[in-house]
Structure 1
């Protein structure tokens, strides 16, 4: 397990820059935190620490959005998503705990690039959004989120084709990811995986991550959504490629 004292200045700067960039992308595009942060964090953190620092730095980020989002939440769907995640997340975390760092980085890059491809090509779930399908989406998101720290793709691709209006979709995704973060923290605590070093790092990264979110929100100009999405896609693509272990001879 990574210890706080073992970190070099360059590694700390990389993590802070990754958190800042991830927050900025979320601020102007509305998504992308894990897709930008995890490939870069995996370069200097073991898999468990990378996921733990992500969820800890992200647990307070959505708080300002929750009161407004709460008015639009579809509680039934949200409960089904979270129920499916509760079932599958322990299995995903068990896989994460046993995962080789190099393989983790490859998986994170693969999921990030697949998500990016799906967004660019407009992939959508075409079936009916019945309760069992929503629970199944939560199961898929829970396992994927456990093993890679990226639970969003199943939820986003299913919900983008749902009959719910956009405010409901945004609200459910926001509350789902907020619940996922706290589930990961709770399950890692039960598993004895909350090492002091990564916990302190994750909490410290709240600051650059929130500054990035504020910066991205300030940079956003209505009417240029396509340009912001393209910028987000470029940053996600660059982070995914940079995070591959092929660039470091020691891996």
Structure 2
């Protein structure tokens, strides 16, 4: 079952370019606590994106990218600390709620960028802060980042390259923070290694489909999938937490 989950997450990311870590983390939290699910999702997301780093360096927009990363660096310690100290009973619905908000942002119709790159630079730091916090707490940094980048004035090549390197940096920093808090160990590595092959296969299959099939609205399909997963997990985890507290 977990192999199918990893394959599906890889398929969505290979096809759409986003959604891998959110789908994998949400699915894993049905069987393991967030303190296991989120680091494993971050590990696999980092490994599976490694082949894109060299190409992304050529299109990376440094003024905006560095501001995004600076905001992320401030947020990651806060998010990793919350992930390690909050009880799993209440952390699971918190993560699900963050992902549900993120899926709503994905479903929100993006508007045409009305600002130039220079005008949008001052928003890069808070966007990186929000994305870094969501990434380190819930493996859900994509929606806040993409919400900003779609309105930043960057062209498609710069947008994609900046997002790839930002996600790599934020995943690596979040994992480093978890390791420093002694919240990353052999349990996470073993589960990540076991799911690596289906995740890679799904990623390749998604890229293959991307060049041969274009649905009417990819944003709606992925957003609806994430909303359904996060909504279901939020309801079930809240009911479990409330029953345990009574």
What TM-score bracket applies, with the shorter chain setting the length?
A: 0.7 to 0.9
Write out per-residue CA displacement over residues 178-237 of structure 1, whole angstroms, 9 at most, x where no aligned residue.
111111121112111122112211232221111111111122245624354443233223
Change in 2 beyond 3 A, CA 1:129/1:222: farther
Structure 2 counterparts to residues 14-29 of structure 1, below 5 A: 15-29=2-16
Deviations 1:36-89 (A, max 9, x none): 112111111111111110111122211222222221111222222111111111
Of the structure 1 ranges 221-230 and 208-217, higher mean CA displacement relative to structure 2 is found in 221-230
Q: In the alignment, is residue 140 of structure 1 matched against residue 130 of structure 2? A: yes
Matches within 5 A, 1:180-199: 180-199=170-189
Alpha carbons 1:82, 1:180 under 8 Å: kept: yes
* Residues 25 and 41, structure 2, Cα contact 8 Å, conserved in 1: yes
More helix by share: 2
Contact 1:24 1:215 in 2 (8 A): yes
Q: What is the match of residue 244 of structure 2?
A: none
The correspondence for 2:107, drawn from 104, 120, 135, is: 120
Matched residue, 1:10: none
Runs of 4+ displaced beyond 6 Å: none
The answer to whether the 8 Å contact 2:93/2:237 transfers is no
| Residue in 1 that maps onto 2:221 | 231
Partner SS for 2:182: coil
- Structure 1, unpaired ranges of 5+: 1-12
Kindly indicate whether the alpha-carbon contact (under 8 Å) linking 2:95 and 2:137 is maintained by their aligned counterparts in 1: no
Rounded Cα–Cα distance in structure 1 between residues aligned with 2:95 and 2:181: 22
2:31 equivalent to 1:41: no
Residue 91 of structure 2 corresponds to which residue in structure 1? 104
* Alignment partners' CA distance in 2, 1:34 and 1:103: 20
Q: Among 37, 57, 62, which residue is 2:44 paired with?
A: 57
Query: Could you tell me how far apart the structure 2 residues matched to 1:84 and 1:247 are?
Result: 31
Which runs of 5 or more structure 2 residues have no equivalent in the other structure?
242-246
1:66-85 to structure 2, matched below 5 A, reads 66-85=53-72
Distance 1:61 1:190 in 2: 23
Q: Which residue does the alignment assign to 2:120?
A: 129
Query: What is the CA distance between 1:114 and its match in structure 2?
Result: 2.1
Does 160-169 or 113-122 show the bigger shift?
113-122
- Aligned position for 2:19: 32
- Match of 1:163? 153
Moved more, 156-165 or 76-85: 76-85
Normalising by the residue count of structure 2, what TM-score does the alignment of the two structures yield?
A: 0.86
How many residues align? The count is 237
- Distance in 2 (alpha carbons) for counterparts of 1:249 and 1:87: 34
- Secondary structure, counterpart of 1:164 in structure 2: coil
TM-score, normalised on structure 1?
0.85
1:96: Cα distance to partner? 1.1
- Aligned CA-pair RMSD: 2.3
